[in-house]
Amino acid sequence: MSISESPAPDQTPIETTATTTATADASNAPGGMTFEERRHARNLGISYVVLAGVTALFLTRHEGTATFNLDGGRSFGLPAQGLGWFVAAALAVTAGIQLWRGYGKYTNVVLAMASILVFMSFLSWAAAGRSFSFIGMLASAVTFSTPLIFGACAGIMCERSGVVNIAIEGLLLSGAFTSALVGSIAASWPGLGDSSGFWVGVLAAMIASALLAWLLAWLAIRFKVDQVIVGFFINFFVLGLTSFLSSRVLTENPDYNDTPTLGAWKIPLLERIPILGQILFQQTVFVYSAMLLVVVFTWFLFRSKWGLRTRAVGEHPRAADTLGINVLRLRYRNVILAGAIAGFGGSWWTATIGRFNENITNGRGFIALAVVIVGRWHPVGAISAALLFGLFDSVADKLSLLNTGLPSEFIKMTPYLMTIVVVAGFVGRSRGPKAAGQPYESQ
């Protein structure tokens, strides 16, 4: 986190990635380092030096102990100043080794450990002499990155089969609206309770978003309209339509906009694991669904016939067609399925807040789109990127109430900035499915 205070280390990794991307294919000679790799290693070393400097200069300024509150009244304290000096020294040593001979295959492990050290040192600096709920911060990161995970999985499913989906925002929003409206109405049906009514709403949300996704697929596949343009169109359309219906229907009939919020569903035994239990296993069904989705989706994408075909259609549809795969039908199916996933993700808002409000998704669909790219079109990458963004977001929230003296506008910006820095540092080159965005015409 500390790097946000100085522009210098931010630029180094970004520059590295840019140059790597441009010329990475130049040489793949086995054994020994290529020029690009050497440069990357050198830049990384310089980044450590700068990071060590920033840590020593800034993060050692606050005296006192930062108390990290855990669950059940437990807590641990870190001396802010001492930790700052320790981390600065550790980074200096790391930088030396990196510049001298590098870490080989452990490069990213070392980078991750260094990042965690800086992160903890930063938190200690921010909370020196005070206490804050460390567990609460991590749990909130998981809770509020859930819609990003659903949105990103929907995006990956489309793009992997060769359809660019800019409309994630619109699909999430339609899911949020439909689940609130239908869920509220269904709950008042005789025989259906609040809970079953809510799930009827979720089902309706999945159908509504799947229909919109079908519209996207129809225009993009059947009529070969530019996929980005169609995506725009759906985003506008949904935003306008839901806002209109919200002011005309929901405002006038508050009963149509009133579902119960979905409380936490604690998983027996697992929820008792210290620390991890409260972060991961005392959440709502939506959080578990997101995790399950990532596991199932990853398995299917890389281990099943459907996954192989999807990836083939996304990379080289002509070849797939030649082998007898129905490219268009597969694309239709995947886009519609992605719509249903996004609709489910959209009902997270209804489950969390218990109502709909104009533009309630507020651009999360676009962040999900970024998460797709940051996660390198891989579900596991996407969940990591989403959780990372969620983490920085909840750190920003904690910062704003710890009176660090940082301007609130700056704090609001940090999640985005840090995601870029981490992506540039860790992810490096990112390449999407080759055929994404290109309409396919069978011959």
Q: Which of 33, 211, 353, 420 binds other proteins (CB under 8 A)?
A: 353
CB-count exposure of residue 269 (10 Å: 0-12, 13-18, 19+): exposed
In the structure encoding, which two tokens stand for residue 146, read together?
């859930």
Smallest separation, CB 41 to other proteins (Å) = 28
**How many other CB atoms are found less than 10 A from the CB of residue 290?**
26
Query: Residue 77 or 407: which CB sits closer to other proteins?
Result: 407
The contact pattern for other proteins, residues 119-138, with x = CB under 8 A and - = no contact, is -------------xx-xxx-
* Nearest-approach distance from CB 357 to other proteins, in angstroms: 5
Helix (H) or strand (E) holding 173: helix 168-187
Judged by CB under 8 A, does residue 79 bind other proteins? no
Q: Which is nearer to other proteins, 117 or 137 (CB)?
A: 137
- Alpha-carbon span 294 to 329, nearest angstrom: 24
Interacting stretch for other proteins, rule CB under 8 A, among 3-11, 78-86, 117-125, 164-172? 164-172
User: Is the CB of residue 213 less than 8 Å from the CB of residue 205?
Assistant: no
Which of the ranges 48-56, 112-120, 163-171, 201-209 carries the binding residues for other proteins, by CB under 8 A? Answer: 163-171
CB 124 within 8 A of CB 78: yes
Instruction: Give the separation between CA 350 and CA 56, rounded to whole angstroms.
Output: 46
Nearest 10 degrees: CA dihedral of 111, 141, 236, 251? Answer: -170
Helix (H) or strand (E) holding 133: strand 131-133
By CB atoms closer than 10 A (0-12, 13-18, 19+), residue 368 is buried
Structure tokens at 149: 């995970």
Contact flag: residue 344 with other proteins (CB under 8 A)? no
Q: Does 398 bind other proteins (CB under 8 A)?
A: yes
Give the nearer residue to other proteins in terms of CB position, either 23 or 359. Answer: 359
Q: How far is the CB of 236 from other proteins (least distance, A)?
A: 6
Under the binding rule (CB under 8 A), the answer on residue 417 touching other proteins is no
On the CB side of 293, CA atoms within 13 Å amount to: 28
Q: Which stretch binds other proteins (CB under 8 A): 75-83, 203-211, 253-261, 416-424?
A: 253-261
Closest distance of CB 105 from other proteins, Å? 31
Q: Which stretch binds other proteins (CB under 8 A): 21-29, 91-99, 148-156, 247-255?
A: 247-255
Q: Which two tokens stand for residue 24?
A: 């990475």
CA angle 351, 169, 393 (to 5 degrees): 70
Strand arrangement, sheet containing 131-133: 75-79, 65-69, 131-133
Task: Give 429 or 434: the residue with its C-beta nearer to other proteins.
Answer: 434
Residue with smaller CB distance to other proteins, 34 or 133: 133
Site for other proteins in 187-246 (CB under 8 A): 228-229, 231-232, 235-236, 239-241, 243-244, 246
Out of 27, 195, 247, 322, the residue judged to bind other proteins by CB under 8 A: 247
Least distance CB 437 / other proteins (angstroms):
5
Q: Of 47 and 227, which CB lies nearer to other proteins in the complex structure?
A: 227
Asked if 38 contacts 99 with a C-beta cutoff of 8 angstroms, the reply is: no
> Using CA atoms, how far apart are residues 42 and 82, in angstroms rounded to an integer?
29
Token pair in block for residue 88: 């600065």
Residue 394 lies near other proteins (rule: CB under 8 A):
yes
* Contact assessment for residue 382 and residue 341, using Cβ atoms and an 8 Å cutoff: no
Q: Determine contact, residues 155/433, Cβ cutoff 8 Å.
A: no
DSSP 266: P
Site string for other proteins, 294-333 (x = CB under 8 A): ----------------------------------------
Determine if 267 is a binding residue for other proteins (CB under 8 A).
no
**Residue among 48 and 132 whose Cβ is closer to other proteins:** 132
Q: How far is the CB of 301 from other proteins (least distance, A)?
A: 21
Q: Are 127 and 59 in contact (CB under 8 A)?
A: no
List of residues contacting other proteins (CB under 8 A): 69, 132-133, 135-137, 140, 143-144, 164, 166, 169, 228-229, 231-232, 235-236, 239-241, 243-244, 246-247, 250-252, 254, 258, 261, 263, 349, 352-355, 357-363, 366, 369, 394, 397-398, 400-401, 403, 405-409, 412, 432, 434, 437-438
